[in-house]
Amino acid sequence: MTPSTRTGATRTADISKELLHALSRGEVQSATLTECLAIDQAMLARAVFPSLTPLELAAIDEACQLGVLKRMARIGTILWNSMGTDGLTQCLEHRADMARGWACFMIGIQPEMESSARLAAIRPLADDAHFGVREWAWMAVRPSLVRELPDALVQLQQWTQEPSERLRRFASEVLRPRGVWCAHIPALKREPEQALPLLSAMCADSSTYVQDSVANWLNDAAKDQPDWVRGVCSQWLQDSPTESTRRICQRALRNLK
């Protein structure tokens, strides 16, 4: 989870008790990954949703003992089961980045939602101004999109033409074969060519935020299909010999001899 744009004023690496309390009360947004992960989500839930029952609060307290992704998913499930769309709306509109992160997982855990509807719902969060919310967005919906991989790839193709670099980057990042902090996608490790139309649409993207994601996608694939990645980069450099394409390919091939 790497911020492309910092949120708020520059702060030191040390987190004071006052800052941690403000973060955990939802009074300020996190400005770094360290701050984001330090938030006391049990305290934040009590601040954002004072009407939660003792049973629900106990379940959130228990969820806070889990790793961060399981914690977020569990809290999202608790909030969705408790408040449904009203709770989702409250999280979507909250100033605390972690609350909007819960909204991502409230969208991600819904079992009956088709990929097109899920992508429409996650769109404002994928385009959020806060770096952390954008990361929670792709992590939250990734498992569901993987289960509908062919359709998801088609749906994401449209995002590659979005004016927002954040949405274009999401289109690449959400289905990286190996990814970060997430389960791998065996189908794309075996057959990365399934995603070639998606990636090729961004092979000369002017945004370094997007370029880095596309390059990392290919770098993931190169760990299992190095010859395929070499071939893709060779073709791209022939068809689109731009500085953007050269940068993507150089980064994509960085671990290959």
CATH code for the part of the protein at 148-257: 1.25.40.290
pLDDT score for 7:
40
Which part of the chain is CATH 1.25.40.290?
148-257
The pLDDT tens digits of the residues spanning 108-167 come to 999 889 999 999 999 999 999 999 999 999 999 999 999 999 999 999 999 999 999 999
Residue 13's pLDDT band, with cuts at 50, 70 and 90, is low
| 141 vs 9, more confident | 141
At residue 75, does pLDDT exceed 80?
A: yes
pLDDT at 149: 96
Residue 173 in this model has a pLDDT that exceeds 70: yes
Q: What pLDDT is recorded for position 1?
A: 56
Kindly report, residue by residue over 236-246, the tens digit of the pLDDT.
Answer: 999 999 999 99
pLDDT at 32 over 50: yes
State residue 179's pLDDT score: 81
What is d(CA 146, CA 156) in angstroms, rounded to the nearest whole number?
A: 12
Q: What band does 6 get if pLDDT is binned at 50, 70 and 90? A: very low
Q: What is the pTM of this model?
A: 0.91
